[in-house]
Amino acid sequence: MFTEQDHLQKVDFETRELYEQIKERLIALEDNVTTQPKKQTIGFKIDNNIFCDIVLQGKGLKIYLNLKSGDLQDQKQIARDVSNVGHWGNGSYEIKLSDLEDIDYIISLLKQSLRKNRE
């Protein structure tokens, strides 16, 4: 059994702050959003579906959106299609987050995944 603490104790203060900010925003999206810590990732679920996974890294976060390649509307092109690359999270898109600059836009991308995984 893994906990959020297992992930948080391995990273610096800035990365923990980033994670806490994102987590707060994700949990506020819907009443029934829950976290599911695993060995490599912390998953965020709606109903029983994981809609995104977060990997805490030395400098920042990697967020994986549980969407198929082609399903994401990303005008700023900040999400990378990783459908042909090995990665830990669910889904085909990866977003690297190292500061809060684009947080509102990133939350809008995460909402797309949340809606899709609620269906």
Number of domains in the chain: 1
CATH number of the domain encompassing residue 52: 3.90.1150
- Say if CB 27 and CB 106 are below 8 A apart: no
pLDDT band, residue 20 (cuts 50/70/90): very high
Report pLDDT for 22.
Answer: 96
Report pLDDT for 1.
Answer: 87
Structural domain that includes position 98: 4-118
pLDDT band, residue 118 (cuts 50/70/90): confident
Report pLDDT digits (tens) over 41-82. 999 999 899 999 999 998 899 999 999 999 999 999 999 999
**How many percent of the chain have pLDDT more than 90?**
83
